[in-house]
Structure 1
Amino acid sequence: MRFMMIVNATKDSEAGVPPSQELIDAMMSYNEELIKAGVLVAADGLHPSASAIRISYPDPGGKPKIIDGPFTEAKEMIAGFTMIEVKSREEAIEWALRMPDPHGFGEGRIELRQVFEPEDLTDDAESIARERAMREQLKHS
């Protein structure tokens, strides 16, 4: 089971304020624990929404609409993520609870969401096999 720990943005992260060295060190230690446990898939921080682009599809079958950042409501923005692969929802929660406060100052907020597996979306064996083959190819590239 794969889970994404979505780190919500704050006013500081949206303003481009870098994390403290103490927080960087704590996150590095946490990521090292995830690696040693063999559950880390990916982990990265994101630039503020000021440099983001939002693409929406306002009309079915219509032309996509492009909107440049920054976007308002920082609490709805994503500042980073950690993707893990674990055996259960409970294990994912345990790992999420061990993550250091991602912004310090008690402002951090993490949303934990399970990632769809191909079998969750379709019964078509060919589609499932294609998806699995693509994932294997990514692992070896």
Structure 2
Amino acid sequence: MRVVVFVKATGDSEAGVMPSSELVEAMGRFNEELVNAGIMLGGEGLKPSKIGKRVAFDGESRRVIDGPFAETRELVAGYWIWEVRDMDEAVEWVKRCPNPMPGPSEIEIRPVYTMEDFAEAMTPEGSAVHDRVAAKLAEKQ
């Protein structure tokens, strides 16, 4: 099962406060454990939303919204992509994670859809295009 693990933003992360050297080292060791266990497929920290943008969709209309974005607790400050047996394993790994922020923080775990989840809506044409995309992505790795 593939999951995306979101490190939720805080006031400090949105203000651009950089982590301490101790936290950088602790997170590096945790990431190393994840990689050695075959769990971590990728992950990065994200810069504050004040330098981000959103694109709002309404039919054919597109509107660009400049950051910063409200509701800091709903924003993401970083993420991992993990391959785990199940949600229980993902939760156990998150519990081992160093606190990613200087104060209180949260980490959210969300399962990723697979093409099988869309079987009811999948046409042969849709399947073909998704297969081509998957093949091109595999070439890049």
Work out whether the TM-score is over 0.5. Answer: yes
Q: Partner letter of residue 66 of structure 1? A: V
Q: Which residue of the partner structure matches residue 84 of structure 1?
A: 82
Give SS of 1:47's match. Answer: coil
Q: Secondary structure at the match of 1:81?
A: strand
Name the CA shift for 1:31/1:74 in 2 (closer, same or farther; >3 Å): same
User: In percent, how many aligned pairs have the same letter?
Assistant: 41
Q: Give the secondary structure class of the aligned counterpart of 1:101.
A: coil
Match runs of 1:1-16 below 5 Å: 1-16=1-16
> Which residue of the other structure, out of 66, 69, 72, is the alignment partner of 1:71?
69
Structure 1 residues 18 and 70, CA, compared in 2 at 3 Å: closer, same or farther? same
Determine the C-alpha separation between the residues in 2 that align with 1:65 and 1:125: 31
- Asked if the contact 1:46/1:79 (under 8 Å) is kept, the reply is yes
After TM superposition, the score normalised by the length of structure 2 is 0.88
Question: What is the aligned partner in structure 1 of residue 130 from structure 2?
Answer: 131
1:26 aligns with 2:30: no
Deviations 1:29-85 (A, max 9, x none): 11111111112111100010010001111x3x2311111011122111110001101
Q: Secondary structure at the match of 1:83?
A: strand
Which residues of structure 2 form unaligned runs of 5+? Answer: none
Contact 1:53 1:69 in 2 (8 A): yes
Amino acid at match of 1:45: G
Counting only pairs closer than 5 Å after superposition, residues 53-72 of structure 1 correspond to structure 2 as 53-57=53-57, 59=58, 61-72=59-70
Count of matched residue pairs: 138
What is the TM-score when the length of structure 1 is the normalising length?
A: 0.88
- Using a 3 Å threshold, how does the CA distance of structure 1 residues 64 and 74 change in structure 2: closer, same or farther? same
1-side partners of 2:19 and 2:56: how far apart? 31
Distance 1:129 1:97, change over 3 A: farther
2:61 counterpart SS class = coil
Are the structure 2 counterparts of residues 88 and 121 from structure 1 closer, same or farther at C-alpha, using a change threshold of 3 Å?
same
What runs of 5+ residues in structure 1 fail to find an aligned partner?
none
